[in-house]
Amino acid sequence: MQRANSPDHSPSIFERADRVLPGGGFGNFDPGIFIARGKGSRVWDTEGKEYVDFLIGSGPMLIGHCHPEVVEVVNRQMQSGQTFFANNPQGLELAEEIVTSVACAEQVRFVSTGGEADMYAMRLARAFTGRDKIMKFEGGYHGMSGEALMSLFPTAPADYPNAIPDSAGIPASVRDNMLIAPYNDCAYALDLIEKHAQDIACVIVEPLQRIVPPAPGFLEALRQATHEHGIVLIFDEVVTGYRLAYGGAQEHYKVVPDLCTLGKIIGGGLPLAAVAGRPDIMVHFDKIKAGADKFTLQIGTLSGNPLASAAGLKTMEILRRPGVYEKIRAHGHTIIAALQEHLSAAGVPHQVVGDPVLFDVVFTDSPVVDYRGSISGDASLEQRFNQLMREQGVLKPATKFYVSLALTANDMDQTLAAIKYSAEHLLSG
């Protein structure tokens, strides 16, 4: 039992967090900031400081915080129940909309998080093919499973295709069934597939890997090679789904995988994610049709939660309205242009990497085409830039700008002024 606080000392929120939370936080964003509320394009911390928000909950709040139409449908659903551990009309309607809008999606299975979706997609591919090995790309983020935590952020990269565990507690047998390739190296990826084709269950890839876009022909080559060898191609669209375009990266890059994973936006800010794909693969979730030896067990208390489904459906309805994606991309183009203009004027080596809906600055002179390129920049400049932006009232993740529909003209003016100020002071600290 903790001792009561002395009368003359009331602990700060940070002291309280440090007592009960490992590392003083939830394991996500900087534990040095507590966000108390959000509205539209802005958030406020517990000390009352206001920020233009480019963190947007690590991506799901694409239309902004507390959108009144989303709040209305969630409140309405609250009157009918929060969760049932059973089929519900909202979840069914959401599944139907995903099938309508995502090219590879013919059937859908809901889970609660993107990491779960990625884990189940890889397991499903193993059940379908009867093979064990999984090929992923160095620096690709696919959740927190043992397979996903291989060569996600190695500080001393190994020789390909050897995997490096990113966490304690993962058995060596997981590492031995992983093959790691450099993103955007088409020749290496195709050679690796050819050499191990009979053992590879799936190739899992972020179509836009963190902020690094695919090189021309890269995704197409993966699609062709996996098809030829009966390997399941999985697009991790937890980030890109409904962000790059309404149909996600599949629509934007015009490459259709066998399975995809979705999350963030489809839950409208509430916990919901999904695996979607071909019926002959998805059938392994059906014990009667697949048979006991091919059945892939998946159970989740909150899978298809009606509150999250209602929030996701309304969010997706808003995203279908005319001009939405054009507006988001226009904001992104404007911010990218400002970054390039002011960092160049300040003589700061940099590359702006990504897509107008999702990008960041890497402080390097060299092109960034893969994970090793993305970590080649000056980390101290990156940290200082982010801190300067925060001091000017602009909140962003460590390595991203997430652009939202909610940004206003005033938000853009403040953001552009913060970029100019940060660029001018970046080298003087």
Across the beta sheet with 358-362, the strand order is: 351-355, 358-362, 401-402
In this structure, what DSSP letter does residue 127 have?
H
Q: Which of 119, 84, 156, 121 is nearest to 302 (CA)?
A: 84
154 contact partners, CB below 8 Å, separation of at least 6: 138, 164, 166
Inter-axis angle of helices 324-345 and 409-425, to 10 degrees?
20
For the record, the structure tokens of 9 come out as 């000392």
Distances (CA, A) of 22 to 17, 31, 55, 135: 8, 10, 22, 32
351 in Cβ contact with 368 (< 8 Å): yes
Burial of 170 (0-12, 13-18, 19+ CB in 10 A): middle
Backbone angles phi, psi at 162, to 5 degrees: -70, 140
267 in Cβ contact with 60 (< 8 Å): yes
For the record, the structure tokens of 81 come out as 């129940």
Start-end of H helices in 130-238 = 172-176, 186-196, 218-228
d(CA 106, CA 104): 6
Q: Which helix (H) or strand (E) holds 420?
A: helix 409-425
For the record, the structure tokens of 361 come out as 């600055």
In this structure, what DSSP letter does residue 48 have?
-
148 in Cβ contact with 141 (< 8 Å): yes
3-state DSSP helix/strand/coil percent for the chain, to nearest 5?
A: 40, 15, 45
241 in Cβ contact with 60 (< 8 Å): no
Residues designated catalytic: 141, 236, 264
